Structure 1
Amino acid sequence: MSGLAAVLSGRHRPGVHRWESGMGVADVRHAVEHAGWTFRYVDGAGLEARNDVLKALGAALAFPDHYGANLDALNDCLRDLSDRTVVLWEAWSGFARAEPDGFTRVVGVLESRAEADPALEVLLRGPGPEDAVPLLG
């Protein structure tokens, strides 16, 4: 967990990272919340369309009912986050492979909010294209 611990302690820049960890979701949640961050979870299994991924992100991040599940709405709602947040996104590779351009755009929006106040860290866990995003070491 050293990479995540470095993000949570402010020693590593938040962003969107591939994350190789065998920690259970409950253990990740505990570590994140113990550090004073908010934890959110996305199960990406079966999500291969951008619209489905955007809906899943909106649900995980508890966006308001008027969230439009598009890139502009994602960007706008991310600005309204009130706490430093870690999103654990498992099974992300189906989307990355099915819609590489859509994946790049979604990651771009998430990455643009990473160092904003409050910070956002997105952990992509599970196998996937190694060149999609950097590995959190």
Structure 2
Amino acid sequence: MTAGEWQPGVHRVEEDDAEALAEAARLDDVTAFLLDGHDVVTKQAFLALFARVVGAGDDFGLNLDALYDALRDLDEPTLLVWDGWPALAAADPAGFAAILDVFATRAEEAALTVLLPGDGSESALGGGVGE
């Protein structure tokens, strides 16, 4: 996926330069957030990272409903680049899958694109992730 091709949904991409992906989106006037998840090994830690990066505020609950609500509050085309996603996929497969489900659900409703760059276990991605 290259600049100008930001399609809603959750996508695995070969490009491993997460910062370059986020910057390309910004150049296309897409709001982009880079989530550095290399050290994130629990669902709660990911939710805290997400809240901090997107500025969700102190009232952000560390649960999947709060994640969905925060995504709903992003009212313009948005790209999330989740660098280091394999750390959570390996450590907490169920939590990782639940987060991907929320992303995929929200992407069906709005202009949300989630990119999972670089190498990682294809089996951890399940069936709801495009390439």
Distance in 1 between residues matched to 2:46 and 2:13, nearest whole Å: 19
For normalisation by structure 1, the TM-score amounts to 0.83
For 1:1-137, what aligned pairs fall within 5 Å after superposition?
Answer: 3-5=1-3, 7-8=5-6, 13-23=7-17, 25=19, 27-117=20-110, 119-131=111-123, 132=125, 134-136=129-131
Identity of aligned residues (%): 34
Q: Rate the CA distance shift 1:88–1:24 in 2: closer, same or farther, 3 A.
A: closer
Distance in 2 between residues matched to 1:112 and 1:37, nearest whole Å: 20
Q: Rate the CA distance shift 1:22–1:74 in 2: closer, same or farther, 3 A.
A: closer
Is the 2:37–2:85 contact (alpha carbons within 8 Å) kept by the matching residues of 1?
Answer: yes
Q: Rate the CA distance shift 1:95–1:30 in 2: closer, same or farther, 3 A.
A: closer
Q: Rate the CA distance shift 1:95–1:24 in 2: closer, same or farther, 3 A.
A: closer
How much is the aligned-residue C-alpha RMSD, in angstroms? 1.8
Distance in 1 between residues matched to 2:104 and 2:11, nearest whole Å: 9
For normalisation by structure 2, the TM-score amounts to 0.87
- Please identify which structure carries the higher helix content: 2
Write out the 4+ residue segments of structure 1 that deviate beyond 4 Å after TM superposition: none
